[in-house]
Chain A
């Protein structure tokens, strides 16, 4: 007997052709898109207009239109920066770390998650640039010398490390994504009927013919990029956490920050992958590729990272008490009972308590439930940054410099706008690029066939391919 469908990474009866067709159809047959695509895209597009308005008004008036003040000099700008950049991390983890660990279940979700990474980093990048107040001189952040300032950036500041961390992250992620797309571009080029589509995908495929030499170099390049990306999963959010941990503000000056931020980033990222994957696989009938098992495993990763994050919250309270430091204790008390206490307890509920439901296998199979839990996690991770940033700042060392942080209309407009931008980019991606890695799915399918055939030679689960060792080298048959 073949394994039950829900236990396989590719469901249904497939062939090389059916994989090409089912994934390529979403891009090549523009009529295959459900009306919900247009509705969501239109709403997201409207929000992008809000973003444009908020940014233009900000450039005209300056950062005074935001809710930031003394003592809370960082508000929505940095909260949203950290939130977005965290969301991106699942993409890199899935595409690089799981590739190096030969976790084949990554193959159907990596493309999708990488796209999410890139768009999330784009959203994140807007915030620090705009919060400088003069984004047109943002190049001052880069060590371009000789320059007319006669100055280098302050290399002792983690804010400068952040510039390198995020720009490297963006570059490597974009490169990794594009390189991963090349064989699929070639497949789409070969399957396309329309001349313009052929030419566009042909240019993007950069002359890919699927020869053995191409594959050999390709696999090497892909592995090198995966090796480059892997440390980024840990380094980017560690450095983001240094922005806080290197300072002396109670609530920021914490040694646990780097691992706790990285776990939080992966946690938020998997929540976002689930948020996007659950509706997409239903709308585009891709349940054979993003299977029940995928969702189950992603929910487990989310639960595991969530536990690390929850452990971090508990340790923060413990450190506050154990330090015996007046300011640390005051900070913890202020979080739990101060003016922002409802936010703190919502954070504990969203990130600590609700995701415990994922221990129950039945919940992990109930997609509406996972979707809702993912929303809780997404909100919880946003609240975490809210608790860390303005709530630590609003109680300064001297009671005379205490204040409150209340976001302004423009803070909210810009935040909502970046959400719109993210959704718009994701929807454009789904429509115009293959959202599942076609060639890796074919490779995976072939392995699955071989394994099943070896186990159950007498039954025979579908057509058995007689193939060269280069497994995925199938496009060469389609190539021109």
Chain B
């Protein structure tokens, strides 16, 4: 009987055996990298919008407070997307003929809301309430990134469950005095864009990577005690999955 396989098949056999080890490992590493990449998370990927609204211009350059447009953020679960009426409170006076604002004027005249593309989504099986987070002193930028630095708005954080739990397991890291939520924005505005902010405050307001200082975290943990936040139940399933 002649040889069934050539000697080169030995090499091929060894290669396929090592592939049996390498391929599953590469798959795990590859898939988890894709999951964490902006391709999946959409972090720092600006979305197209019907009107090219710039948070940089309105919040950073003009200094308009978040609550002027997201008016229900302190009182309700939903922060609120402004009606065209809110836009027109200024734009009936300035840039009245700008072609970029044509969809806003049309929406206002016809009384049909603008359809914005949603940037920050939580799945429908997650209960989330803005008001409690603001009331306990979590700054907007902790979850939304440096919004006042965004020309077109992007998602600031990946919204993985591990990311939610990072704070829910140790809320002291991000909890601050209540007046620092919007107060920090004022401080940032009044100090020629952050000159008198501490390093960690500046990292929160102007960069995508907030680095809370040790003192801030210690202060936060004291506040957790003061507010009576029950950390031991804060990561129970039912807190978010009701």
Contact = CB atoms under 8 A, between A and B. Distances in A.
Contacts of B3: 480
Contacts of B165: 150-151
Interface residues of A, number: 15
A148 B36 contact: yes
Contacts of A207: 10, 13
A189 interface: yes
B4 A149 contact: no
B35 interface: yes
Given A147-B162, A148-B160, A150-B163, A206 B36 contact: no
Contact of B162 (A144, A148, A480): A148
B4 A189 contact: yes
B5 interface: yes
B35 A198 contact: no
Given A198-B4, A480-B3, A149 B162 contact: yes
Contacts of A150: 160-166
Given A189-B4, A199-B4, A148 B13 contact: no
Interface string A359-394: 000000000000000000000000000000000000
Interface string B1-31: 1011100001001000000000000001000
Interface in A387-411: none
A24 B18 CA distance: 32
Interface SS, A side:
loop
B161 A202 contact: no
A261 to B, nearest CB: 30
Interface residues of B, number: 18
Interface in B90-149: none
Which of A148, A149, A206 is packed against the most chain B CB atoms within 10 Å?
A: A148
B161 A480 contact: no
A195 to B, nearest CB: 9
Contacts of A198: 4
A149 B1 contact: no
A206 B35 CA distance: 37
Contacts of B28: 144
Interface string A68-108: 00000000000000000000000000000000000000000
Contacts of B35: 148
A305 to B, nearest CB: 38
Contacts of B162: 146-151
A299 to B, nearest CB: 42
Contacts of A147: 32, 162
Interface in A106-155: 144, 146-151
Contacts of A190: 1
A149 B160 contact: yes
* 3 closest A-B pairs by CB: A150-B162, A148-B160, A150-B165
12 contacts: A146-B162, A148-B158, A148-B160, A148-B161, A149-B160, A149-B161, A150-B160, A150-B164, A189-B4, A190-B1, A202-B4, A480-B4
Interface of B: 1, 3-5, 10, 13, 28, 32, 35-36, 158, 160-166
Given A146-B162, A150-B160, A480-B4, 15 more contacts: A144-B28, A148-B36, A148-B158, A149-B160, A150-B165, A150-B166, A151-B165, A189-B4, A190-B1, A198-B4, A199-B4, A199-B5, A202-B4, A480-B1, A480-B3
